[in-house]
Amino acid sequence: MVRDAGATKQRLLDAATAEFAQHGIAGARVDRIARAADSNKAMIYSYFGSKDALFDAVFAAVVVSTVEAAKFDPSDLPGYAGRLFDSFERDPRISRLTTWYQLERPDGAALQTLVVSNEARIDRLREARESGLLPRRYSPVELLTLVRSIAMSWSLVSPEIGAVATGHLRARRREVVVESVRLLLT
């Protein structure tokens, strides 16, 4: 029987995405990932080298797909925030993986995928700011941080606020995100 290396690698990434989202980096187990992917631990180490490198591959893929789906546009930051919100709503694993990354890698080596993605968006924000398209009261880094935080805000509410906000329909939550970013730019 001929094995499809690409398919095996993708199954491992899919299984690892679920495992890391549920348990974080420290809590994830390579044996569970291998079992869920119908593979073995040796393949994880062969393809990725380590559990940490597997997380990096998972998180980089999530970042790339999220950024591509949200279509960053510095001339329409409220729309961008809405599209980011849509990504977080569509796949709650995105915010879970982001949170695990921030908790477990606060001082770790920067992921090159994140560095490149952030630099590109910051450069575009800088250009838009210099051309007068965006207000000058926030630096490009501050603006990107604020927009991202607002877009992610509903996926990070505490259970207590979540229980009170059960009547907030998805459309209303999205509207709040878009309007908040719009107000930020006035």
**What is the per-residue pLDDT for 158?**
78
Predicted TM-score (pTM) of the model is 0.88
What range does the domain containing 165 cover? 57-184
Residue 46 lies in a domain: no
| Domain assignment of residue 45, yes or no | no
Residue 101 is assigned to a structural domain of this protein:
yes
Q: Is residue 16 part of a domain?
A: no
Q: Which residues contact 54 (CB under 8 A, 6 or more apart)?
A: 12, 13, 16, 30, 33, 44, 47, 48
Q: Is residue 4 part of a domain?
A: no
Residue owning tokens 């107000």:
183
pLDDT tens-digit series, residues 78-108: 999 999 999 999 999 999 999 999 999 888 7
- The CATH number of the domain where 149 resides is what? 1.10.357.10
User: Is 60 exceeded by the pLDDT of residue 132?
Assistant: yes
Percent of all residues in the chain with a pLDDT value above 90, rounded to a whole number: 80
Question: Residue 33 falls within a domain, yes or no?
Answer: no
Establish if 133 belongs to a structural domain: yes
Average per-residue pLDDT for the chain = 92
**Residue 155, pLDDT score:** 87
From the DSSP assignment, how many helices (H) and strands (E) are in the chain?
Answer: 10, 0
Res 2: pLDDT: 47
What tens digit of pLDDT does each residue of 164-186 get?
Answer: 766 668 899 999 999 999 999 99
Q: How many domains does the chain have?
A: 1
Residue 2, domain member (yes or no) = no
